[in-house]
């Protein structure tokens, strides 16, 4: 497999994730327009976001199992086609119940990402995965910004329904690109112990190995922190545009866009920086990736709290604080995904990451609804509700990440021992490396 082709595949997946995130997150900038169309309040709108996240949470284990059993490339193409179709259903929804059902169904393809990370783990070894995962996770903030641009530039002239038609069509086109442009590869091919072999022993998914994931000490605190870990990002992506505008700080579009554009670009850079730092520190200590994650989460909690305290009239200071906070928002994402692959066997990596994302989505599914309920039921301002949910969950994540930092070296050592045994097995079956 050539180096050029590997990066070509990364480019395809980057495109898929960027456009998919734009479609998924564009509902935030259209929040007020959709509420006006259907005559609904914040709590009902929060249920729209929660519905999609619940569907994604339920389907994560199913996608993970399918990816570990069948062709990851073909399943990813299918996910892209589903993205297009479900977005089109939302575009034609005549009323709120239909829109709620249609937009919730977009969660089907939202749970497709474990296959991407699993396939990439067989294209790139442990020393590069953090950076590649960080590159792919640039797509979350950049996708939000792309969605914001589409909403601001096309929303007034085309309306939110026609923009949904556009983003759904992009899903179908990307599905064709994946179907004809991406090849699957043997699971475990990029592991250091196996990369010198032209052919390797095939190890298929089995339930015993999958069940052993729940007995890995490091995965338990990672799974628990995952429940809370994406609360902040979901709250921000769903409610922050409204908070900056008429429901909070009262900024106009001309003020909101540059603030969000700079913050999102910095957030994207933070994802790559976090993955790069994780790779570098991982070469020094197997705790490296999780140390970077812990620092990012705790720094993000403190900075988020301070940012939300800035007076509304101090626009410049607010923009600076928000941008500083954005650096750390995605620090942990690529490192946690890479850590899961550092301690799990190749044939169950999709399942392992799917469990992580299942727990994350199940917890985060309630984040938009909780914020909406704090506003409508308990009388909090939107800013206070965002602060309670985002800052509180970040602090909880930090505590469990500290536990994972302590536990991870043993699980990394076990995996490396298992991969060495497989290298010896492959050598016995197929001869010397490279033959």
For every residue of 173-229, DSSP letters joined together read: HHHHHHHHH-----TTTTSTTTTT-SS-------HHHHHHGGG-TTHHHHHHHHHHH
pLDDT of 62 > 60? The answer is yes
Instruction: Give the pLDDT score at 57.
Output: 81
Instruction: Give the pLDDT score at 79.
Output: 94
In our burial notation (b when 16+ CB lie closer than 10 A, e otherwise), range 157-180 reads: eeebeebbbebbebbbebbeebee
Name residue, tokens 């097995």. 425
285 or 197: which carries more pLDDT confidence? 285
Instruction: Give the pLDDT score at 435.
Output: 42
User: Is-above-0.95 flag for pTM?
Assistant: no
pLDDT of 301 > 80? The answer is yes
Instruction: Give the pLDDT score at 395.
Output: 92
Mean pLDDT of the chain: 86
Per-residue pLDDT band at 433 (split at 50, 70, 90): very low
Instruction: Give the pLDDT score at 432.
Output: 47
Mean pLDDT of 188-192: 80
Q: List pLDDT tens digits, range 24-52.
A: 877 877 877 888 888 887 778 878 877 88
CA–CA distance, 267 with 2 (Å, rounded to integer): 31
In terms of Cβ atoms closer than 10 Å to its own Cβ (0-12, 13-18, 19+), residue 183 is exposed
CA–CA distance, 270 with 288 (Å, rounded to integer): 17
Share of the chain above pLDDT 70, in %: 96
Number of H helices, E strands in the chain: 20, 0
pLDDT of 71 > 80? The answer is yes
Contact (CB, 8 A) for 225 and 394: no
Mean pLDDT of 273-292: 94
In our burial notation (b when 16+ CB lie closer than 10 A, e otherwise), range 314-330 reads: eeeebbebbbbbbbbbb
Mean pLDDT of 298-308: 92
Which region among 184-188, 221-225, 307-311 has the lowest average model confidence (pLDDT)? 184-188
In terms of Cβ atoms closer than 10 Å to its own Cβ (0-12, 13-18, 19+), residue 142 is buried
Mean pLDDT of 109-124: 88
Count CA atoms within 13 Å of residue 274 on its CB side. Answer: 36
Could you name the CATH architecture of 3-194+209-430?
Up-down Bundle (1.20)
Backbone angles phi, psi at 9, to 5 degrees: -65, -40
| Sequence-distant (≥ 6) Cβ neighbours of residue 414 within 8 angstroms | 343
| Sequence-distant (≥ 6) Cβ neighbours of residue 243 within 8 angstroms | 249, 382, 383, 386
CA–CA distance, 134 with 344 (Å, rounded to integer): 19
Strands, E assignment, 298-379: none
């Amino acid at each position: 497999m050539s180096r050029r082709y590997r990066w070509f595949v990364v480019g395809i997946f980057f495109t898929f994730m960027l456009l998919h995130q734009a479609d998924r997150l564009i509902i935030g900038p259209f929040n007020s327009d959709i509420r006006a169309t259907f005559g609904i309040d914040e709590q009902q709108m929060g249920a729209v976001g929660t519905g999609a996240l619940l569907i994604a949470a339920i389907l994560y284990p199913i996608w993970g199992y399918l990816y570990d059993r069948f062709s990851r490339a073909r399943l990813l193409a299918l996910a892209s086609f589903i993205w297009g179709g479900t977005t089109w259903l939302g575009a034609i929804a005549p009323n709120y119940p239909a829109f709620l059902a249609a937009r919730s169904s977009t969660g089907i393809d939202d749970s497709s990402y474990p296959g991407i990370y699993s396939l990439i783990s067989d294209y790139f070894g442990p020393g590069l995965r953090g950076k590649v995962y960080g590159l792919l996770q640039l797509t979350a903030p950049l996708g939000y910004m792309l969605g914001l641009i589409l909403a601001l530039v096309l929303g007034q002239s085309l309306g939110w329904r026609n923009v949904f038609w556009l983003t759904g069509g992009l899903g179908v086109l990307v599905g064709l690109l994946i179907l004809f442009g991406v090849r699957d590869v043997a699971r475990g091919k990029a592991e250091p112990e196996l990369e010198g072999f032209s052919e390797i022993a095939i190890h298929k998914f089995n339930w015993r190995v999958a069940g052993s994931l729940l007995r890995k000490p490091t995965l338990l605190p990672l799974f628990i922190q995952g429940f809370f870990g994406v609360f902040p990002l979901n709250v921000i992506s769903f409610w922050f545009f409204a908070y900056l505008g008429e429901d909070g700080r009262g900024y106009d579009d001309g003020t909101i866009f540059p603030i969000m554009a700079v913050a999102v670009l910095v957030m994207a850079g933070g994802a790559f920086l976090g993955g790069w730092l994780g790779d570098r520190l991982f070469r020094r200590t197997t705790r490296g990736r999780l140390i970077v994650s812990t620092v990012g989460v705790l720094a993000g909690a403190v900075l988020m709290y301070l940012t939300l305290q800035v007076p509304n009239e101090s626009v410049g200071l607010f923009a600076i604080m928000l941008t500083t906070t954005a650096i750390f928002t995605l620090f942990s994402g690529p490192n946690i995904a890479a850590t899961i692959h550092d301690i799990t066997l190749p044939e169950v990596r999709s399942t392992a990451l799917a469990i992580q994302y299942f727990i994350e989505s199940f917890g985060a599914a309630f984040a938009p609804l909780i914020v909406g309920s704090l506003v409508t039921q308990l009388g909090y301002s939107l800013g206070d509700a965002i602060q309670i949910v985002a800052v509180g969950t970040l602090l909880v994540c930090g505590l469990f990440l500290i536990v994972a930092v302590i536990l991870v070296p043993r699980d990394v050592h076990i995996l490396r021992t298992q991969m060495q045994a497989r290298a010896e097995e492959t050598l016995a079956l197929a001869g010397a490396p490279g033959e």
